[in-house]
Structure 1
Amino acid sequence: MSIANIVATLEKLEKMHKSLLEFANAKTEFIKQNDMEKLNEIIKNEQSHIAAINILEQQRQTMVTDYLRAKGIALTDSTSVADVIEAAKSTESTEALVGVRKRLVVLLEKLKMQNDLNQKMVFNSLQIINLTLDSIRPQRQEQFNYSGAEVRGNAEVMKRSFNEFKA
């Protein structure tokens, strides 16, 4: 197993993650516009990209493991590209591996930040929806007479659920 193969796989991963970042940026715009149809389309496309990334990641893991075995290095549960960089002697292919790894790390950080923003935006939208629903839902108001017992007749109307009311 050569470092060039690992570099090629990492470059494919980089390309797929760039695509995911573009999807995340598009999701931000669709969340702002409240365009649920386009948001659902983006999510479907993301899922296919994630499946492809998982396959590439398995290939990368296999390549890293094979490389380290070939070098006679004891394997741990989580072998990484950093282990390959450490095990390899300083060569041009090692420099390429370091470069693509750095780019991928930066890209993953940007993707994480964008996804966090999208998650916060969706959460805030849900809070607004819940607040709106709470404001139009009939409030249960208990009425008591002088003895503290509930007045009959009003309790039946207050127990009806939100779904029973029509706008």
Structure 2
Amino acid sequence: MALTRLLELLERLDEAHLQMLDLAALKKQTIMDNKVDGLIDIMNRESKLMKLIGQLEEQRAEAAFTFLQGVGIRSNLNLNLTELSRLVFDPEDKSRLQQVQQKLSNTLHRLKKANELNQKLIEQSLTFIDYSLDLLVGRPNQDFTYHHPSDKGYSSTRPGLFDARG
């Protein structure tokens, strides 16, 4: 019974993470289209999903503890699913647990990749905005000719976008 509850919670966690993956794809397109209002809406939806995932994770931990008590382990061990599956002796239950584990692992991996891509897109957008502002506004007392840094007449109050001296 405790294992069934744990499996149900793992399935629900996978579903919630799949929804996050859908939002990540939507976020990617919104970033590329430069739609700030859409991005804010997506982030609000992500926040609600993260709250749900946090609640499901708490319930999963409780179900795992209940399962451990059911198999005779009284301490509150924080076992991962692989370690937990070693305590399941029914081949059908063990197989189901391993399938859910693999499915959740794949979903989390895909979500991680999508989030990394979105982070890079946002960084590129911010870099482009900074560069565009430099082009539009310019730097104070900007001279458009080359001066060697050791020349006395050369002075820049703000390093350029590609200043490698950092």
TM-score normalized by the length of structure 1:
0.79
CA distance in 1, matches of 2:75, 2:88: 15
User: Structure 2 vs 1, CA of residues 77 and 119 (structure 1 numbering), >3 Å: closer, same or farther?
Assistant: farther
Which residue of the partner structure matches residue 3 of structure 1? Answer: 3
Distance 1:108 1:71, change over 3 A: same
C-alpha displacement of 1:74:
6.5
| Residue in structure 1 matched with residue 25 of structure 2 by the alignment | 25
Per-residue displacement from partner, 1:119-146 (whole Å, max 9, x unpaired)?
Answer: 000000000111111223342339xxxx
Match of 1:68 in 2: 68
Query: CA deviation digits over 1:96-120, x for unaligned, max 9?
Result: 1110110000000000000100000
What is residue 97 of structure 2 aligned with on the other side? Answer: 97
Give the Cα separation in 2 of the matches to 1:77 and 1:122: 39
Amino acid at match of 1:95: S
What's 2:113 paired with?
Answer: 113
Q: Is the 8 A contact 2:2 2:70 kept in 1?
A: no
Q: CA RMSD in A?
A: 2.4
CA distance in 2: counterparts of 1:52 and 1:45, whole angstroms: 11
Q: In terms of Rg, which structure is larger?
A: 1
Give 2:15's aligned residue: 15
Q: Name the CA distance, whole Å, in 2 between partners of 1:82 and 1:65.
A: 15
What is the DSSP-based 3-state SS (H/G/I as helix, E as strand, rest coil) of the residue aligned with 1:139? coil
Whether contact under 8 Å (2:14, 2:107) holds in the other structure is yes
C-alpha deviation, 1:76, in angstroms: 6.3
5+ residue gaps in structure 2?
143-151, 158-166
Calculate percent identity across the aligned residue pairs: 26
Does residue 1:128 correspond to 2:141, yes or no?
no
Task: Name stretches of at least 5 consecutive residues in structure 1 with no aligned partner.
Answer: 143-147, 150-157, 160-167
TM norm structure 2: 0.79
Match of 2:81 in 1: 81
Which residue number corresponds to residue 57 of structure 1? 57
